[in-house]
Amino acid sequence: MKEILTILSEECAEVIQCSAKLQRFGVNDERNQKKLESEVGDVMAMILILHYYGVVSDVGIKKQIKRKLRKLKRFSEIECIDEVLKEL
Ligand SMILES: [Mg+2]
């Protein structure tokens, strides 16, 4: 389990790095978009492994996704929240 959590941490750090690059070089930079997509996929792979071992659950994750989206609707200027909520 230690190895899984270590890799999860590494992959989350790589997502942070990609996000920073997109902020620095522009969100339309295709190379950095692809890199972000790749690193988000890496994080999701680690989440699937955690799910397999019962460390995280579908129900718990979905509940938190909704909670976070509702919070963003109240406290951010992101405009697509209702549409994203509808897709759940
Ligand atoms: Mg990676």
Q: How many whole angstroms from 26 Cα to the centroid of ligand 1?
A: 21
Per-residue tens of pLDDT for the chain, all 88 residues: 999 999 999 999 999 999 999 999 999 999 999 999 999 999 999 999 999 999 999 999 999 999 999 999 999 999 999 999 999 8
Going 15 to 85 to 60 to 71, the CA torsion angle's sign is: positive
**pTM metric for this prediction:** 0.91
Q: How many whole angstroms from 45 Cα to the centroid of ligand 1?
A: 10
The angle subtended at Cα 60 by Cα 57 and Cα 64, nearest 5°, is 140
Q: How many whole angstroms from 74 Cα to the centroid of ligand 1?
A: 32
